[in-house]
Structure formats: structure tokens, C-alpha cells
Amino acid sequence: MTSKITTCLWFNGAGEAAARFYVGLFPNSKLGKITKFPEGTPGQPGTVMTVEFELDGARFVALNGGPEFTFSEAVSFQIHCKDQAEVDRYWAALIAGGGEESVCGWCKDRFGLSWQVVPEVLPKLMADPDRERANRATAAMMGMKKLDIA
């Protein structure tokens, strides 16, 4: 069954570049329909208005809506990584070309979208029944930018 929910991401002209970047970064992803602005709409006729794409089966649309709205950390996407190599790969790709590191596994890509690059083992470490170990894992995470499983 296909989900009725599609995440719409508002860009200021970089929607197609962002969609292509994300599709190239995540496995099982693909570009879909690209729609151009028609005459009589707020956008420049013939330029890209929307780009439909899927990231590992999740549906998105990139909308070139203009400069009125920008992304904030109030919304972010979590990437659940199986190992440190995957954390390192996603982190490097997301901050490349003008992205920004933040804290606790958070970063922004060059389009301003926030991501959480999280090793799958982290929730287990933080929920360890041995509270001292769990507290050490949490404290270590709080002091990191890119998360280091070791």
C-alpha cells in the first residue's frame, strides 16, 4: 500500500539540485515527475516548480516556493546507521559543499535541511539497564558533533 502522506520541502530555487543530491545519497531512491511553472503563476514560467522523489520508499516533493520560508531545526530527518562507516559516509556527504556540523549527531546540509545521523546502537546504549553505563554513553554523545560509536 502506498502512503497517502508526502513530505513537501520548500526551497528557494534549489529543489531539483536538492532532490538529485538526496536521491544520489540514499539507496533505494529515485527521481519522479518534474513540473515547470506555467504562465500566470508566481514562478518564472518554464523553470522547475516541483520535483517528486523517493528516499528509500518515503515520498517527497521539492517545491521551489521562493525565499519566504526557510528550514529550521524544528524539523529534521533521522538517518539510522548500521555502523560507524555509514555514520561517517552520511555525515561527510551532508556537510560537504557548505553544510554545517551541529551537536549530538545533528547537521545541516548545504540546502539548510537538518539531519540527525544516528548509529542504530545509540538508543540501546542510552537505555542500558546499567545506569552508569547509560549515563556515560549519554554524556559522551552530548560532547560530540558527529557521533563516534567507539
Q: Which domains does the chain have, with CATH numbers?
A: 7-64 (3.30.720.100), 76-142 (3.10.180.10)
**Dihedral (C-alpha) 48, 6, 93, 20: value to the nearest 10 degrees?**
-30
Q: Cell 554545517 maps to which residue?
A: 100
Phi and psi, residue 94, nearest 5° = -70, -35
Q: Do the beta carbons of residue 32 and residue 51 sit within 8 Å?
A: yes
Tens digit of pLDDT per residue, the chain (150 long)?
567 999 999 999 999 999 999 999 999 999 999 999 999 988 899 999 999 999 999 999 999 999 999 999 999 999 999 999 999 999 999 999 999 999 999 999 999 999 999 999 988 888 889 899 888 888 888 999 999 988
Nearest to 7 by CA among 51, 62, 57: 62
Give the separation between CA 12 and CA 105, rounded to whole angstroms.
Answer: 26
